[in-house]
A and B are shown apart, each in its own frame.
Chain A
């Protein structure tokens, strides 16, 4: 017989990375005491623990920290506040009535009734399967993040001669890491004509070590029976089609993939929460509430952020809103208006503004579709301009964070639409 352990909490937070930590801490500081945070790993901190490089915390702490340092600040605060957490605990389901089912080796199955839930599961990496790279299936092909965990946490080197496909920041960081640990990185191969990662990482992770960055190139074949022996790369044209006659072989025993991140939303989907087709995360309002009442979401589970500092800020908002919901200071069923991406904007989060929601100013995160030199972000309500923000430089790789005072929003009703465009 399976015994089911039952418990009740005000707030259950799913995920102990930067998002979950910040949401739980903020909720506690705002007067909710019965909080439980669930983490599937053996320690708190999430992906920050394997990001041993520095550059985190410039906005939140006004200094550059490494990932473990950034995490430890929040873990210490969580412990000091006496917030309860369970490690090695996998959440199996979240139900609309806010029951959370989880399992761990010490207690077996758990059924936890919450008054509000914060989803903070983060994201996962796109894999080789998602790219349809042809060729054999040898050992030695890793996502960059898996390799990062093996090297930085487990202490295993993943290979001696590597090719990195994709120039996202994790791939660039791993190019440097592999080189410092004695491997030879033959090339970073990027399909787009511009790099995916930050300039700073191109310079300090590739140029510092003379690692070639092959833009407008992709991997078209993979060789090796047991272990990877090499990859074929080809040049691509502006429509990302391979150019015949440009094929060449690079010998390598390892390939790392840094080709994008996808919010991890199996639990949200099973709970019936509506997702945004572009962000692949839950549709949320400005209080970070999802389409399920009393279920909030924050961090990379909502949309993939570039900076952990923004995850922290967004998650604090989710934590405060959950408290508001639990204490019934605001109605969860207020009038909501839509927020839509306008011209050359790829997406905007939140996708809804709750006119009756918590008394906070509005904050929006958005990504540009293209590169813009000297452009303006324009916020309009039903076609009427209400705010213009000048930007020196806009790139798809850099998320924009803009604010709108609550009182700057003209009186409007449920049918109105707020749009943000780049002109």
Chain B
């Protein structure tokens, strides 16, 4: 596993003994935290777009407000594929609440008023 916390990119080796993880190859404490999170609960901020009607814009960019379970990204994409919005939408506004019962909202990352791009 390559650590992505900083540009050094340490190659990490992780061994598990029950609930205890041993991390080798890390050059700082952040590497250990990263490795354990990647193994126990890998999360990613997912960004995509959704359809918007009645605007010169055709797609509205969105993101998950918090980091989202990595293994469910494609499931999230198919939910986003069904979303259709109308302006006005403000940046930060929730487009989907508690998506897939994760407790995580999907929010707009751009403001779209009626007539302006």
Is A198 in contact with chain B by the CB < 8 A criterion? yes
Interface membership of chain B positions 24-65, coded 1 if the CB is closer than 8 angstroms to chain A and 0 otherwise: 000000000000000000001111110100001111010100
Q: Does A81 contact B (CB under 8 A)?
A: no
Q: How many A-B pairs with Cβ below 8 Å?
A: 71
Decide yes or no: A69 and B109 within 8 Å by CB, A52-B48, A155-B59, A202-B2 being known contacts. yes
- Is the beta-carbon distance between A66 and B61 smaller than 8 angstroms? yes
B109 touches A66 (CB 8 A): yes
The complex places the Cα of A68 from the Cα of B74 at a distance, in Å, of: 23
Q: CB-CB contacts of A154-196 with B at 8 A, as 1s and 0s?
A: 1100000000000000000000000011100000000000000
Which chain A residue shows the least CB distance to B78? A182
Within 8 A of B (CB), among A189-211: 198-200, 202-204, 208
A363 within 8 A of B: no
* Bound CA span A163–B57, Å: 29
Residues of A within 8 A of B46 (CB): 180
Chain A residues whose CB sits within 8 angstroms of the CB of B57 once the complex forms: 153
A54 and B47 in contact (CB under 8 A), knowing A181-B77, A199-B2?
A: yes
Bound CA span A43–B58, Å: 14
Least CB separation from A69: chain B residue: B109
B7 touches A393 (CB 8 A): yes
* Contact of B16 with A by CB under 8 A: no
Q: For the complex, what is the distance from the CA of A392 to the CA of B6, rounded to whole Å? A: 11
Chain B residues with CB below 8 A from A96, complex form: none
* Cα-based distance from A155 to B57 in the complex (angstroms): 9
Chain B residues, Cβ within 8 Å of A395: 7
Residues B1-36 near A (CB distance < 8 A): 2-4, 7-9
Distance to closest chain A CB from B113 (angstroms): 12
Q: Is the CB of A42 within 8 A of B117?
A: yes
Nearest A residue (CB) for B71: A208
- For the complex formed, measure the closest distance between the CB of A190 and the CB atoms of chain B, giving whole angstroms: 16
Nearest B residue (CB) for A73? B91
- The interface size bin for chain A is 20 to 34
Q: State the CA gap A72–B111 with chains docked (Å).
A: 8
A5 within 8 A of B: no
The answer on a CB contact under 8 Å between B8 and A64 is no
Contact of A43 among B49, B73, B117 (CB under 8 A): B117
- CB-based contact B9/A199 at 8 Å: yes
| From A54, A68, A153, A200, contact of B4 by CB (8 A) | A200
Q: Roughly how many angstroms separate A154 CA and B44 CA in the complex, as a whole number?
A: 25
Q: Chain A contacts of B61 at CB under 8 A? A: 52, 66, 68, 152
Partner of B56, one of A42, A52, A198, A199: A42
In the bound assembly, the distance between CA atoms of A199 and B3 in angstroms comes to: 8
Contacts of B72 in A (CB 8 A): none
- Report whether A155 and B63 are in contact in the complex, using a CB–CB cutoff of 8 Å: no
Contact B48 A180 (CB under 8 A): yes
CB distance from B39 to the nearest CB of A (A): 14
- Known pairs A66-B109, A68-B109, A181-B77 / 15 extra A-B pairs, C-beta < 8 Å: A52-B49, A52-B109, A54-B47, A66-B61, A69-B109, A69-B110, A153-B57, A154-B58, A155-B51, A180-B73, A181-B48, A199-B2, A203-B4, A204-B4, A208-B44
* Nearest A residue to B9, CB-CB: A199
